[in-house]
Amino acid sequence: MLREKSLLMIPGPTPIPPQVAAAMTQPMINHRGEAFSALFEEVTEGLKKVFRTGQPVYVFPGAGSGGWEAALVNTLNPGDTVLSVSVGDFGERWFRVATKLGFAVERLQFEPGEAADPERIAEKLAEDREKKIKAVLVQHNETSTGVTNDVRTIARVVREHGALIMVDSVSGLGALPLEMDEWGLDVVLTGAQKALMCPPGLSMIAFSERARAAAETNTMPRFYWDLKAAQNSLLKWQTPYTPAISLLYAMRAALGLLEAETLEGSWARHRLMGEMCRAGVKAMGLTLLARNEATASNSVTAVVSPVDPKRLRKVAREQFGVQLAGGQADLADKIFRIGHLGYVVPGDVLQALAATEMALAQCGYEVQVGRAVAAAQQVWLDAQQS
């Protein structure tokens, strides 16, 4: 078997388009020269269209997780109170980052599989009569549980209170609808290695006017993730320190692919893949971790595993050439996840479902081979009619 060819169906890093991989091989350039400025302008302007914002998008060399720190240290003052809204592992991680950085963190946690309830957020904020809460942190899409939050409604609720609404859209942006300006989001952050079809190593973040105003008077000590330094450099389409040039070449190529598809096209493709995946999963008699299918993610599907998920994933990988993701933290022994975002097409979802079904059979779970794919095919066919 040609084991080198294996379908990567995890929720990031996602497969790299050949055009993007090739783009990285372009020669190095002087990062203080004109060619770099042209590249950086093209990338940051292109990203504004994906963020749906008129605000600048800042691109830092770093992991998407760095955006958690950037969001906090630029807009808050030492000891400020924030509200962490968490529906899974990435919510917990951002909570821990805020704690580590010395902020006072109030919490609103939801069970794995639940989406954040805007009404409960509203209640929590209503209790804060002294307006101590300066910011609310929430995931757009919780990668660990395959649940998408209703960020639009949450933002409305938060803005009524007056706090900044900060959104981690690492596994959302580009795949799922998000309108930074229209929805009134104050901070939106993402990474390169998800729907944006690039290798990991770029952290992208945008700030609303309100958030940028907060950054002006902010006293939190910071260097690497400092917005003001990035802002000053951006006036000349430059960066405060050496940018990750090869990854910016990749991003320029990937943004070109996304522009050709159109952002709405990408959202529709991800919605189709999500629907196909869920139809296939249900056809195998399995249960989604998402309790309400209306909030199930279109970029990653989390499935309650009827067999040992580690064994299932090993069989799917080794025997059937598809790489699935495991669960994180407490969910490690309970679920598996099928990522379907980035450079992934509906045909890949069929292959992933087929491999999952066969791997389940090999693990002793009773399936009728072919059902999952048939169900997903039907969804795809129906989509062609509409």
Please report, as ranges, the residues that interact with its own copies according to CB under 8 A. 8, 10, 12-16, 21-22, 24-25, 27-33, 60-66, 68-69, 97, 100-102, 191, 193, 199-201, 221-226, 240-247, 250, 323, 325-326
DSSP states of 169-204 as a string? -TTTBTTB---HHHHT-SEEEEESSSTT-S-S-EEE
CB of 256 to its own copies, least distance (A): 17
The tokens for 361 are 């059979």
What CA–CA distance (Å, rounded) separates 302 from 210? 36
Residue placing its CB nearer to its own copies in the complex, 154 or 187: 187
Provide the minimum distance between the beta carbon of 21 and its own copies in the complex, in angstroms, as a whole number: 4
Distance CA 108, CA 1 (A): 49
- Smallest separation (angstroms) from its own copies to the CB of 44: 17
With CA atoms as reference, report the closest residue to 204 among 212, 213, 214, 193.
193
Are the CB atoms for 7 and 338 separated by under 8 Å?
no
Smallest gap from residue 90 Cβ to its own copies (A): 10
Nearer to its own copies, 244 or 367 (CB): 244
Q: Which is nearer to its own copies, 165 or 324 (CB)?
A: 324
Q: Which helix (H) or strand (E) holds 348?
A: helix 346-362
Q: C-beta of 290: minimal distance to its own copies in Å?
A: 22
CB-CB contact of 251 with 193 (8 Å)? no
Q: How far apart are CA 327 and CA 346, in angstroms?
A: 23
Closer to its own copies by Cβ: residue 266 or 328? 328
Of the pair 36, 51, the CB lying nearest its own copies is at 36
Give least dist CB 204 to its own copies, A. 13
Distances from the Cα of 264 to the Cα of 49, 111, 209, angstroms: 11, 31, 26
Burial of 316 (0-12, 13-18, 19+ CB in 10 A): buried
Task: Between 33 and 54, name the residue whose CB sits nearer to its own copies.
Answer: 33
